[in-house]
Structure 1
């Protein structure tokens, strides 16, 4: 079976990165059923040529979809659409905001805060690999009970953020005060066993798993404003989603 050639419209004047525009439209084709599980996916070279995009741009879009579990690469078979998964947006808020809304006492301890490079975070924020970003690691608690350890990366424009401001409020509230408003995010949720450092920070017993969340947040212009890797005490954290098939 030959791969379907999907109609894709790339706006080269948009501030949204080209790879992200491509990934969003290809993802929509999977979500609305134009591409079904098991369907062959147009290869990188053909897609780049047809859309007049560079191969690295197309490669990054495809890799993003592979990372989300939407596509599967198989040696000798090429890239195919993965089995369908449910993807729904959760509320775009911080854990600090959620705890306050529940009438609980959010506390934050900043355990690392420095400017440094990281290739994965730079790629997520659409920055050059050697860009120094603000790396912040925090433990978020409800009262005296630790709930999450959160590692966030911010573009260098936020280098002057202080430790005191991070301990006093949620990250998104702080960004809004700085004139940066997160309006959309791509979020992946999973589970795994914690690292030794995570186990100590969260007070976990041996064998207890953590719930994980990776999030990229964007402003109204499509610019990436933060990238985060979080680990939560699984027994203390639930995610509520409204699924609507009207």
Structure 2
């Protein structure tokens, strides 16, 4: 299979024209995005990196990127670069049924991946109260960065009821926790979920590659087994520049 050349090799910036370099770069990147040569989800280099590759000033790249962001064609990623949004760059996730991040990404045509930041067994009276359990109840606390096509989309902290699913403590959780629960005989049946606006912390901004905090979606979910036992409580912060939720309502 013939490999596609690096996108910067497709750029032709000229100094023998009256059109400013930043405008040339903006127009040519917009064209590559519009034709699908740079499809939604593509990560472009950071401003300094692209400037060095093209032998132009960083301010030139910055002006072009800013113009493309104002047109909603790019999403800022700070030192990690920028993500191509295009006309379909946002992830429009449906809320018609209970599904985990892994299944959701696959339905949207993205490759899911997770990075575990923390995995500990804890006893937390506040969390136990949410589950309706004694203060001494043990929970698996799992903090993960969830990505689609390698792009960090959410940072989530989940607590899982080890009284109901003790085998989860030693289970392989590199993929879907929901799939692991089902394999352990504790599949989820339903959930109660809320969504609210939130600002990312400095740590979360660094994970998402934000130079400055960007409004995000904070999703809080309580998930239950078929017999009504609560198995999961999770708080997930989803980046607001790449994620929207779609609802279908009937009268």
Report the TM range for the smaller structure's normalisation. 0.5 to 0.7
For structure 1, the residue ranges without an aligned partner over 5 or more in a row are 1-88
Q: Which has the higher strand share?
A: 2
Matched, 1:244 2:250: yes
Matches within 5 A, 1:132-171: 132-157=138-163, 158-161=165-168, 165-167=172-174, 169-171=175-177
Q: Given the two structures, how large is their TM-score scaled by the length of structure 2?
A: 0.58
Cα deviation, 1:123-155, whole Å, max 9, x if unaligned, reads 222211232211000100012210001111011
Correspondent of 2:118 among 97, 109, 112: 112
Q: Distance in 1 between matches of 2:205 and 2:188?
A: 30
Match of 1:221, SS state, is coil
Cα deviation, 1:162-187, whole Å, max 9, x if unaligned, reads 687211x2121111111111111111
Q: Given the two structures, how large is their TM-score scaled by the length of structure 1?
A: 0.59
Which structure has the greater CA radius of gyration?
A: 2
The equivalent residue for 1:235 is 241
Match of 1:190, SS state, is strand
CA RMSD of aligned residues (A): 2.0
Correspondent of 1:127 among 123, 133, 136: 133
Match of 1:161, SS state, is helix
Indicate conservation of the 8 Å contact 1:134/1:159, yes or no: no
CA change 1:224–1:110 in 2 (3 A) is same
Q: Distance in 2 between matches of 1:197 and 1:117?
A: 24
Cα deviation, 1:101-131, whole Å, max 9, x if unaligned, reads 2221101001100011223321222211232
Matched, 1:184 2:187: no
Matches within 5 A, 1:53-132: 90-132=96-138
